[in-house]
Structure 1
């Protein structure tokens, strides 16, 4: 007779958790490394700060330049690079052009509160 060995429920649980962690990591890396769209926005940097209870992220707001008399539109963005964050802090209140990459489906706000991540800053 063939005797079956029974797997420990703890071993099965650990295996499920490892697979779940690998899937989460793979999804996060895919969404952060492949952009949905890229572009530039031009306007006045209105707000920029490091926010969050547990995961501190750089978040900002820019008033987009528009036609005279029109209601200005706000562009909310996140920054992952500390060097870019330093440039933005120095450019508060100035007219800037922001180069961004849009990353859809980022799994948690620990990477940023928006899907628009700034990659380059040009002060005008």
Structure 2
């Protein structure tokens, strides 16, 4: 009876370790997001993780969307801090169903960052300049009708 209990506990622990390994090493999706670093801070009571936020501006004057992310590597966090205030592109991987937030508070883990020098271009159509019509001479406006 005691032996089967320890076997059961061992199988449960092995399954938990396998689940954590699988969720951290297999990415559900990956991609890039561009924007301006709003914040990056190290958070957590027991497990300290780097958590950040990027403001993504689609065109000038638009309300920015926020992209919240986690950083697992100290070198990537240092690169992000060095590029604060600049437009950056973050490469990320999405890891779903990570069982604890000791690895990060979000499911988006940044894997690389690079600075972008160009400004976003508006996709709005150009506005036509106002038409300047010549003013009618005052003499023709006040002339009596014939």
Report the TM-score, using the length of structure 1 for normalisation.
Answer: 0.87
Cα distance between partner residues in 2 of 1:64 and 1:24: 36
SS in 1 for 2:68: strand
RMSD: 1.2
* Matched residue SS, 2:24: helix
4+ runs deviating over 2 angstroms: 11-17, 67-70
- Greater RCO structure (CA 8 Å; 6+ sep): 1
Task: Give the total of aligned pairs.
Answer: 116
Structure 1 position 121 matched with structure 2 position 113: yes
Task: Kindly state the Cα deviation for residue 120 of structure 1 after the two structures are TM-superposed.
Answer: 0.5
Tell me which of 92, 97, 105 is aligned to 2:97.
Answer: 105
The structure in which a higher percent of residues are strand is 1
Over alpha carbons, which structure has the higher Rg? 2
Structure 2-normalised TM-score? 0.75
Quote the offset at 1:67 in angstroms: 2.2
The structural deviation recorded for 1:68 is: 2.8
Q: Which runs of 5+ in 1 are unaligned?
A: 1-6
Kindly indicate whether residue 81 of structure 2 is the aligned counterpart of residue 89 of structure 1. Answer: yes
